[in-house]
Amino acid sequence: MLSRRFFLQGAAIAGCSAAAHPFMSSVTLAAVPGEQRLVVIILRGAMDGLDIVQPYGDPLLAQLRPDFPVGPDKGATDLDGFFALHPAMAELMPLWKTGELGFAHAVSTPYRDKRSHFDGQDMLEAGTGMDVPLSMVRDGWLNRLLQQMPGARAETAYSVGDDELKILSGSAAALSWAPDASLILSSQGRTLLDMIYHDDPLFRQAASEAMQITDGGDNAEDGTTDPDSPDLMAEPMMAAPADGMAAPGAPAPLKGAVGAAASLADFAASRLRGETRIAAFSLNGWDTHRGQEAAIRGPATQLAAMVTTLRQQLGPVWDKTLVLGMTEFGRTARQNGTRGTDHGTGGAMLMAGGALKGRKVYGKWPGLADADLYAGRDLMPTADIRAYAGWALRGMYGVPVDVLEKSIFPGLDIGADPRFLA
């Protein structure tokens, strides 16, 4: 298998820059047994859980956010008489009604007080606590899951998108894909690389395999396609053909950022319908310091598009799928002077899929009184977000609790099972 570390070392040895090296979009493969699918979406920028899943039944929310539209009277969709869903997420309500959508509220990683996006995201993806320096953590919790699962084989874990996801980094192989990356190599480039690596015993075989991947698995000798080779260019994306005409029977293409978000989910679904069992990608844009009413609409619409695309494209596989939308921390309970919110602590996690026991907002609501807020400003976390991820791994893959608490999420007290899996 071609590992990311191998390619990074190869680039250094060859004296190539990352931009010039044709194989820096690394392709490595991994696997887990079973039929259960897990999709993790990292919501970068600190999603405001108090806005996406509005506790409008708490009268203090409207007082803390007088300029924000709060509750069903202002366009949100009622969920259970206490919580309401942000208007930009309304297309997910059919999933709520069928029990395929849920949330966990007042959750957080162990990260506290410093409120750095970078450190918060690193801790979320590493799955560690404050007692472990992030500089010492070299792998992510999804990769440590793969390391604990016997029978690993190609192809099962994908990191999807332009961002490098620490959550799938580590010694267990995982495959990466980016929508804007091209793995096509010109004939001149193939000839040059063949000349460079032909007499190199260290890189010759790896270069040959990598060039095969750039061909989408095409066999140069007979023009056939190797059925065991991952054809990264073969699956159609949710985009219009060059002539602007949609392919017969294809879903109507989405445009702009929403279309790009749907394309990530569409590609993940294409792999999850096959041998892939774990997919991870990220969605940016949640840092809403100013004009949040308008600023949050974009990423919220994109997140809804991702979930609905997964639902549509997975077909019967959806029944075996769990989607977790996780963010590095929440935002302040009070609006700021520019009608936005600042970095906070407690937030919300999205859950979806046929494997979910949905139509419920899980968690213990802490309240929004001054005495109930964390540091007098943030939603108080009442659960560790890692515990929800841990119980997901326990229920879907049978990972023992002691392995979850000691190896995959070091230092975690997983607590009682919230029983959110169907």
Tell me, what CATH number does 282's domain have?
Answer: 3.40.720
Cα(60)–Cα(83) distance, integer angstroms: 13
Q: What's the distance, Cα to Cα, between the start and end of the chain in Å?
A: 36
DSSP state for residue 11 in the 8-state scheme: H
Most confident of 219-223, 274-278, 345-349: 345-349
Higher-scoring residue by pLDDT: 174, 112: 112
Q: Is 358 a domain residue?
A: yes
Q: Is 311 a domain residue?
A: yes
In the block, residue with structure tokens 């395929």: 100
Q: Is 17 a domain residue?
A: no
- pTM score, whole prediction: 0.75
Residue 336 has pLDDT above 80, yes or no: yes
Q: Is 159 a domain residue?
A: yes
Cα(276)–Cα(310) distance, integer angstroms: 14
Q: What percent of the chain has pLDDT over 70?
A: 68
What one-character-per-residue DSSP string does 304-339 give? HHHHHHHHHHHGGGGGGEEEEEEES--BBSS--TTS
Amino acid (one-letter) located at 72: P
Of the candidates 95, 128, 99, the one whose C-alpha atom is nearest the C-alpha of residue 390 is 128
DSSP state for residue 53 in the 8-state scheme: E
In three-state secondary structure terms, 13 is helix
Number of domains the chain is built from? 1
Q: Is 268 a domain residue?
A: yes
In the block, residue with structure tokens 């939308």: 325
Q: Is 23 a domain residue?
A: no
**Interval 363-420: pLDDT, tens:** 999 999 999 999 999 999 999 999 999 999 999 999 999 999 999 999 999 999 999 9
Check: CB of residue 320 under 8 Å from CB of residue 37.
Answer: yes
Residue 17 has pLDDT above 90, yes or no: no
Q: Is 181 a domain residue?
A: yes
Cα(327)–Cα(344) distance, integer angstroms: 11
Q: Dihedrals φ, ψ of 151, to 5°?
A: 80, 20
Cα(381)–Cα(322) distance, integer angstroms: 23
Question: Parallel, antiparallel, or unpaired for β 101-108 and 77-78?
Answer: unpaired
Confidence of residue 146 (pLDDT cuts 50, 70, 90): confident
Check: CB of residue 338 under 8 Å from CB of residue 287.
Answer: no
Q: Which residues contact 405 (CB under 8 A, 6 or more apart)?
A: 390, 411, 412, 413, 414
Least confident of 13-27, 246-260, 267-281: 13-27
Rg (CA), the chain: 22
The two tokens of residue 177 are 């894909």
* Residue 290: Cβ within 10 Å count: 13
Q: What is the pLDDT of residue 404?
A: 97
Cα–chain center distance at 382? 23
The two tokens of residue 63 are 């007082």
Angle 187-197/204-214 helices, nearest 10 degrees?
170
Of the candidates 150, 69, 65, 48, the one whose C-alpha atom is nearest the C-alpha of residue 379 is 48
Higher-scoring residue by pLDDT: 203, 58: 58
Least confident of 50-59, 113-122, 245-254: 245-254
Q: Which residue stretches of 47-181 are H helix? A: 49-52, 60-64, 93-97, 117-126, 141-148
Cα(122)–Cα(409) distance, integer angstroms: 13
Domain that holds residue 276: 37-185+253-407
Q: Is 165 a domain residue?
A: yes
**Interval 27-39: pLDDT, tens:** 222 346 688 999 9
